[in-house]
Each structure stands twice: as C-alpha cells, then as structure tokens.
Structure 1
Amino acid sequence: MMRIISISLALGLALAGPAQAHKSSDAYLTFQVSGHTISQRVDIALQDLDRDLDLDADDDKRLSWGELRKRWPDVERLVADSIKVSADGHICTIAKSSAPQLDQHSDGAYAVLQQTLQCAAPVQSLGVDYRLFAGSDAKHRGIARVLSPSGEQSAVLVPAQGLKTFQFETSAQDELRRLGSFVVEGMHHISVGLDHILFLVSLLMVAVWRRDGAAWVARSSSSSAWREAFKLVTAFTLAHSLTLGLAAAGVLAPPSRWVESLIAASVLVAALDNLRPFVRGPRWLMVAVFGLVHGFGFAGPLQALGLQRGNLALPLLGFNLGVELAQLLLVVLILPLAIALRKKPLYGQVLVRPGSALIGSLAVLWLLERSLNLSLLA
C-alpha cells in the first residue's frame, strides 16, 4: 500500500506541475444599480481570453495592445453570450459600451469591459446568468459586487450554477445563502491551491514523528500525533486568518510577486525539514510565521471585491470557514493513515522521504518562477 501511495503522489505532482499553484481563474464583475440603468464592469484575465479566443495572432507568447483591440468585438460578443443580466425577470439591453481598457490585478493584466445596461423598469431584483468559460475551465469563478441604493452585496458566481439573483431587500435566509457561497469559495480556493495543499501535506506527514537531534523518530502514541497536528493547524489558522482579514480590508497589501514567492519558499522549507530536521524551536512557530504569508495569498478574491469594511464580515467569515473546512478534510484524510504507518521503516523510506523530495523539487521551480518571473512549468 505504501508503494502505491508513493507512486500516486509522484504522478499527482507530475500532472499538477503545469497548473497554476495558487491563483485560480477568476473574473471580477461590478454592477452599479440606479433606477432603470445598471453600470456594468467586467474584468477578465487576458490569459483566459487568449485560451478561448486565441488573441496572440503572431504566436509570440505575448499579447500586445494592438492584438487585443483588433479582437475587442469578439471579447464583447463573448461577454454578451456568457453574462446575461436581468431586472425582475426581464433581460436588460446594452445601451452604451466604453472604449477598450486594461487593468492590472495580482496575477497579471485584465481586459476591462464597461457598459451601461437599460432595463424596462426600476430594478428591484438583479439576476445574473453567468456562463463565462463554462466549456473551457470548470474551475473558473466570477467574483461579483452589486451596489444599489439599499447597500452593497457580493457573491461568487459559478458557471455551472446558472442564474444568481440579488434581492435589494435581503432576508436572513438570503444572508445565509450568501454566507454559504463564500464557504464554498473558500474550499474551492484551497482545492486549486496546490502550494497550500502541499505545505499542509508536508507538515502532516511528520506530525506523527518527533525530533531526536538531527533525525525524526516515531511518536509513542497516536494521541501525541493528534496533539501535534492540532497545534500545527491551529497556529496556521490563527496566523493566516489575521493577514487574510487585514489584506481583505485593504489595511495591508504587500506585492503579490513576493507573497507568492514566499509561499513557495514555505513549501520548500517544510519539505527540507522533513528530510533532515533543521528548523530551530517548536515547529508550530515556523508554521505560524509562514501562515501569515499564506493569508495574504488567500485574500485575492476578497480584495478584488473592493468591499467596504462594514460589508466585509460575512464574506470574510464564510471564506475563512471554507478554508478551515478544507484544511480539516486534509487532516482527516492524511493523519489516520500516517499514524497507522508511523513506526514502519518503509513509511519514511517509501512515502515521507520521496514525497518530501518531490514536493521540495516542485517548490524550487515555483520559487524560481515567481521570484524571477520565469515560465518553467508552462
């Protein structure tokens, strides 16, 4: 069984290598409602548009402004076909489109489409039927922000789920559904964040061991292993919750490039420490320090909403709950097996050491890519 697990881990890393390690495919939508009209802004990553529309005409792996402008009618057509906006069940029509624009987000350049929509009557409820990239990227999400005279709302739009309705007189049930959507988005964010997953996997693999000088030895009891895992996960959770909240509120905004580079470094350090313990002091302290960095990485979707601090509590709570549920699922899947195998010599020889070496190798590539702006896994 251990050999099968080791082979599966190697195959998983090999297949996952070309994928984005942390930042998932997101588009950002803002709707400003005023009477009969809706001002709509849609920000779409150029890399996503290029995948579906083949914008790079000369195939030089670089998108020029001229190439984007030339295909702008196709961008507008894609948005019109994939995002249907309605008021009280009636489709709103495009009254005006602004000139093509570009904007920078944490993961690169985005095309910005701004339009004025005209509705048949004053808008009481807003419906968004979101299908963008439904056929080409199952992990894609739309992060929506709706501004109206009654306040501000936000939600995660999933292409497979179809129509999302925003009621401007919200009930407790509406708020619970909104909370649930951010719980799901937090879990989704972890599921596509391979670097975060591998950081936790590295920690859990040796939570069943303890340091003995420059080596690892198996813990004598399963309860000791559970306590160690609890300390590691708690330290990580408290640390990343702090910086996630600060970043989402706009209090702190370190450069994304360095945040992502440090996240890669955290994976590398955890993997190397598995191979030969070198981190001084309790391991939970190292985990807490790196947890502060991971929190900035988690904050991307919430930062993009531009939420006012008075409207931040519910999305932040839901998103953080989703992150924690995904982490607990990893613990439940990994730790019981690790506890059962912790005293067997083959656990270290077949699973921990080869697995940590593979994780460390991938982390080195991520670190070089992010710190030097290279493309090694594409």
Structure 2
Amino acid sequence: MTTYQNKYQLSFFYSVIFTILLSTYSTTADAHLSGYTDTAIQIAKPGIQVTYTLPRDNILELPQNSFTKDTKNIILAPENYQAIISQGWSVSANRRNCHRLNIQSFQLTQVQAYQYKITYQCPQGIDNIQINYYLFINQSRGHQNYARVFMAGEEMRTRFTFDKNSLDIPVTKLLTQWDKKLSPTFINKDLNQSYNPDTSLITTAQKKPTKIDNAFTANWRWLEPGFIIMGMQHILLGLDHILFVIALLLVAMKWRQLISCITLFTLAHSITLALSYMGILKISPTITEPLIALTVLIIGFENLYILRAKTETALQRSHPFLIFIFGLIHGVGLSYQLTEYASGYPITGRLFLFNMGVEIGQLMIILVLYWPIMQLLHFKNGKNILMILSVLIAIAGGGWFIERVI
C-alpha cells in the first residue's frame, strides 16, 4: 500500500470517527446551553436593584447541592431558585453589607430565560458600593456575565468573569464629577428598551469617557468584542447547527458549489437573526427548536437522495432554495441567546458582532472538515461513505426532533 493511499485512508478514518462521535453525542446533548448571563444594575435613592437574566437551561448548571434527588435533572418554575440566585450576589456599601429587601422572579417565555430582580437597601449610605457575583464562575471559567450599571441618567458597561467577579463603584465621586443627583425611584420598565441612550455616558460625544478602576469602559457602544466570542461559541457548541453545516459540505463537491450554499445559508440566517433580535419576528423556541432539528433530519435524507442520483434531479435543482428556507429557521434559533442579553439594545453593536462571531465559527467548521470530506471521493466507494454520513446526520436530527417535540 502506497503512502498516498495511507494518507487518504487516514483522512477517511478521522472524518468517519469524528462524525459518528458527533452524531452520537448530539442526540443526547442540549445544543444551546449558554456560558453567558446578563445583568442590569440600578443605583437610586432607595438603594441598589440587580436584575439578573439567565437562560432557562442554565439552571441545571447550578451547584448540585441546590437540588433534591427528585429535581436535580428537572427545571422547575423560577421562584424555586430564588434562594440560590440571591446567594450568588452580595452588595456592600461603605464596607458594610447591604440588606436584601426582596427578590422577584419572572419567566421570559419568548427567549426561554428566567429573570430575577433583587433589591438591596444600605442604611449606612451608598458613597462607595461593592458588588460581587458568584454564580457559574466556579463551574466554568469561561462564564461571562454582561452587566450594565444605570445611575443618575448615565450608563456604564462591564463584565463579571472568573478572575473579575467584583465591581467597585465610587458613587459620590461620580455624582460630583457628573454634577448630578441620584434618581428618586427605580425605573420599573425594561431598561434595555426604555432607557434613553441620549443621556448615556457612552453615546454623548460632549462628555469625556469615564473609567472606574478599569471596571467600566466608556467607548463606542457597539465595540463589545465579547459578543464575537459569544457568536463563535454559540455556533461551535450548537451541535444541530454544526451538523447542518457538515451536511452542506457532503454534497458541495466543488468550491463554487460550497460558496453558493454557505452564502445562501448565511444570508438567510442573518435576515431572521436580525428580525428576531429587533422584535419584528417573534416565534417561540418551542416551535423553532423542533423545526431546526427537522431541518437536520431533512437535509440528511436529501443528501442521501442527491448522492444516489446518477443525473441531476428536480430535488437537486431545488437544493439552494431549501438551504435558504432552512437558513431562515436557523437564524431564529441563533437569535434567542442574543435576545436574552439586552433584548434589542443596543442593536447595532451586539447584533453585528454576534453575527460576525457566528460566521467565524461557521468558517472554522468548513476549514477543518472540507479537506478530509473531499478526500473521501478518492476512494472507490467514496460516495457510499458520504451517504452513510448523511444517514447518521439524519438520525441525529430525528432524535432531536422527537426529544424536542416530546
């Protein structure tokens, strides 16, 4: 056996093993567990109010001692987790703990998320505030909590991470610098959509940027590179999206065909990602998630039909149209994680950078797998191998579809 043949057999071996493992794992794995959460912090005369939002599925990632044996694998109503969520935050002022007055919980059904509103009172005053965040950072060092602080008509941005889970805010110093006073009450509306950006520190060109011990970054609003990483992780950890992209590779025998398919898919999911994120298109995940699984099932069997056909068929000619339709469905699914954070505010930055991250992740999949998949064609039964891989992808999609419908 020649070195040339060994090289192609090795490529075949790795590609088959990779796809089988991916297909097997994906039938039981959740495609959209998130390493991100979102927080809006208000500082006003009554005290401090922390509004914390997390994807519903992330509840299962909380420390196991917060569950009973009967409920550790079941997601209950949001009020059942108020204690563990409140323990994940601490607020102090002037080096003394602030008192937690109350905690409210809400279920955001549109984006499959839970939200908790915790209100603190600081009898000793709030000249200097320290806020600490403890949730998920021990389970995942890559966890990030995107936070916005609203105070006296100003907004500031920061992130809580494993190595930076504490935030110091010199309230009195900032109010003196801004020549402002604290608001008499908390804003009860959704800050992400109702807050007036014209008064924001970030968007007001006449004001100088302010930094608080490097915790806050006052810059152009859309420059949040963390959302590129979020988009990349969402596509690379979303096994249903990965298998769909792999399915596109299996029948794209030439670069021109591949570029055409990926362009259509990218254009389609970018459209619905934007429409869904901006609230123009509203579809429940209970509908979208099974549909995404169904697209994986259908594209797998469609590939099988195309690969078996000896001449071009009507189904093969309609393949680009199906890719575009399926891309529209995937775009809605991609939007849910982004919508959980800031629900449309600010639109330009988060949408653009998140979508950029999705495209980078998609390109990474293509660059890694295109060459070994194309090498299969050098085998005598190369098309048969591609057909087997298509069946495996269809089986994974069918398993997801049953699981998500049930």
Distance 1:317 1:120, change over 3 A: same
- Pick which of 50-59 and 178-187 moved more: 50-59
**Residue 197 of structure 1: SS of its match in structure 2?**
helix
**Cα deviation code 1:153-179 (max 9, x no counterpart):** 667654466567999744598448943
Aligned length: 343
**Residue 224 of structure 2: SS of its match in structure 1?**
helix
Partner of 1:120: 126
> Is contact 1:143-1:157 (8 Å) kept?
yes
Aligned counterpart in structure 2 of residue 297 of structure 1, from 333, 344, 350: 333
Look up the equivalent residue of 1:205 and give its one-letter code: L
> Is contact 1:92-1:120 (8 Å) kept?
no
Look up the equivalent residue of 2:396 and give its one-letter code: L
- Pick which of 194-203 and 114-123 moved more: 114-123
Shift of residue 360, structure 1, vs aligned partner = 0.9
> Is contact 2:38-2:54 (8 Å) kept?
yes
| Cα distance in structure 2, aligned partners of 1:86 and 1:97 | 14
Shift of residue 302, structure 1, vs aligned partner = 2.4
| Cα distance in structure 1, aligned partners of 2:228 and 2:131 | 20
Match status 1:12 vs 2:22: yes
Match status 1:326 vs 2:370: no
Aligned counterpart in structure 2 of residue 98 of structure 1, from 95, 102, 119: 102
**Residue 363 of structure 1: SS of its match in structure 2?**
helix
Shift of residue 31, structure 1, vs aligned partner = 1.6
Shift of residue 251, structure 1, vs aligned partner = 1.2
| Cα distance in structure 2, aligned partners of 1:184 and 1:165 | 26
Distance 1:295 1:48, change over 3 A: closer
Shift of residue 243, structure 1, vs aligned partner = 0.9
Mapping 1:247-326, distance limit 5 Å: 247-277=276-306, 279=315, 281-308=317-344, 311-326=346-361
Partner of 1:52: 63
Distance 1:244 1:154, change over 3 A: farther
Aligned-residue RMSD, C-alpha: 3.5
Shift of residue 258, structure 1, vs aligned partner = 0.9
Shift of residue 308, structure 1, vs aligned partner = 4.8
Look up the equivalent residue of 2:116 and give its one-letter code: V
Distance 1:349 1:178, change over 3 A: same
Distance 1:228 1:17, change over 3 A: same
> Is contact 1:26-1:143 (8 Å) kept?
yes
Shift of residue 244, structure 1, vs aligned partner = 0.8
Distance 1:182 1:46, change over 3 A: closer
**Residue 317 of structure 2: SS of its match in structure 1?**
coil
Distance 1:286 1:63, change over 3 A: closer
**Residue 97 of structure 1: SS of its match in structure 2?**
strand
Partner of 1:134: 137
Look up the equivalent residue of 1:184 and give its one-letter code: I
Shift of residue 318, structure 1, vs aligned partner = 0.6
**Residue 251 of structure 1: SS of its match in structure 2?**
coil
| Cα distance in structure 2, aligned partners of 1:136 and 1:178 | 28
> Is contact 1:261-1:370 (8 Å) kept?
yes
**Cα deviation code 1:205-242 (max 9, x no counterpart):** 2211xxxxxxxxxxxxxxxx111111111111111111
Partner of 1:182: 227
Partner of 2:264: 235
> Is contact 2:128-2:168 (8 Å) kept?
no
Shift of residue 122, structure 1, vs aligned partner = 7.3
| Cα distance in structure 2, aligned partners of 1:234 and 1:86 | 51
Unmatched segments (≥5 aa) in structure 2? 1-9, 175-199, 203-208, 210-216, 307-313
Mapping 1:317-356, distance limit 5 Å: 317-350=352-385, 352-356=386-390
**Residue 145 of structure 2: SS of its match in structure 1?**
strand
Partner of 1:213: none
| Cα distance in structure 2, aligned partners of 1:265 and 1:156 | 36
> Is contact 1:275-1:357 (8 Å) kept?
yes
Unmatched segments (≥5 aa) in structure 1? 209-224
By percentage of residues, which structure has more strand?
Answer: 1
**Cα deviation code 1:77-112 (max 9, x no counterpart):** 2x12xxx6689xx87843333245342445756362
Look up the equivalent residue of 1:293 and give its one-letter code: I
